[in-house]
Amino acid sequence: MKRTYTMRARAQAADETRRRVLDAAVRLLGSRLRSDIRLEDVAAEAGVSVPTVLRAYGSRARLIELALEKVLEGIGAELRQPEPGDVPGSVSAWFDHYEKYGDAVVRNLADEADPAVAPIVQIGRTRHRRHVERQLGPRLDAVPEERRAMVVDALVCACDVYTWKLLRRDMGRSRTEAEATMALMIESLLGGV
């Protein structure tokens, strides 16, 4: 009986260590470029050694891949909270995301030539467009079919991380002012069709 308990306790401890390591990698992805995350950083953040990280995940690449999947799952869930068609709610969700990850996303975009970063940037672009289409789709019903792709392109630009960066970082607007500006752009595009 004692041996079974010991094995179960070890398995639980190993699972807890794996969770701490993955959570550490997720936190680091929120603030750094993927290429800047070293195993030493993850180990220190998780309170374990580098060999422990490698035993848990096999390689840095696998750990970062799993951490990115977890980040993307969380982002998707957050961005889908507002009802489709709810412009203020959607803008607020985008800003929640950009305030949390925007600076790291902009750094990734600047480092897009790096083969390790390019796939992440492409995933982000694809998901952003899909999210814009989902969130603003009900408001696109009145748009003539021949103009829809152009209007969606304009909405993707209006809701982009660079728009957030221009308003919040470059122009120094408060979040309230920046959200109102993005909502104005969206409503202008939707009202002008």
Given a cut of 70, is residue 34 above it in pLDDT? no
Q: What is the pLDDT of residue 169?
A: 97
**129-155 pLDDT, tens per residue?**
999 999 999 999 888 999 999 999 999
Q: What is the pLDDT of residue 112?
A: 86
Two structure tokens written together for 38: 């070293």
Given a cut of 60, is residue 171 above it in pLDDT? yes
CA–CA separation, 162 and 182 (whole Å): 11
- C-alpha distances in Å from residue 118, one per residue of 99, 123, 148: 22, 9, 28
Q: What's the DSSP call for residue 169?
A: I
Give the residue-averaged pLDDT of 62-74: 83
Residues 6+ apart with CB under 8 A from 48: 17, 20, 21
**76-134 pLDDT, tens per residue?**
778 788 999 999 999 999 999 999 888 888 988 888 888 877 888 888 899 999 999 99
Give the residue-averaged pLDDT of 51-78: 85
pLDDT cut 90: percent of the chain above it: 55
Given a cut of 80, is residue 36 above it in pLDDT? no
Q: What is the pLDDT of residue 193?
A: 47
CA–CA separation, 43 and 112 (whole Å): 26
**pLDDT-derived band at 192, boundaries 50, 70, 90:** low
Q: What is the pLDDT of residue 19?
A: 93
Q: Name the average pLDDT for the chain.
A: 88
